Amino acid sequence: SVRSVAGGGDRVAVATVDGDGHRLWFSADAGDSWRAVSVPVAVPSGGDVGLAVTLHGDQLVVLADPGTGARAWWGSMSAGG
């Protein structure tokens, strides 16, 4: 299921969760195609954990709590990936 969505222009980032854990996805073409984005820490599914994402221009910000404390990362996501 979708936990977080962020978009700007044709760029869309989505954080999802299923039985295998949280995942991050990115589209540079308004959702016509998607690619998985690596998250620096594994975030399992379940209780007091979470993954969220936001975009500002080409800057992607990822917030994660794998159950051991919250962390944040940011980086550039070009239109080509």
Measured over all CA atoms, what is the biggest interatomic distance in the chain, rounded to whole angstroms? 35
Contact indicator for 1, 14 with CB cutoff of 8 Å: no
pLDDT at 50: 95
- Tokens 């994402």 identify what position? 53
**Backbone conformation region of residue 56, classed left if phi is above 0, alpha if psi is from -120 to 50, else beta:** beta
pLDDT at 58: 84
pLDDT at 80: 54
**DSSP summary character for residue 80:** T
Domains of the chain by residue range: 2-76
Residue 81 predicted with pLDDT over 90: no
2-76 architecture in CATH? Beta Barrel (2.40)
Q: What does each C-alpha distance from 74 to 3, 20, 27, 48 come to in angstroms?
A: 18, 24, 17, 22
pLDDT tens, 16-68? Answer: 999 999 999 999 999 999 999 999 899 999 889 999 999 988 899 999 999 99
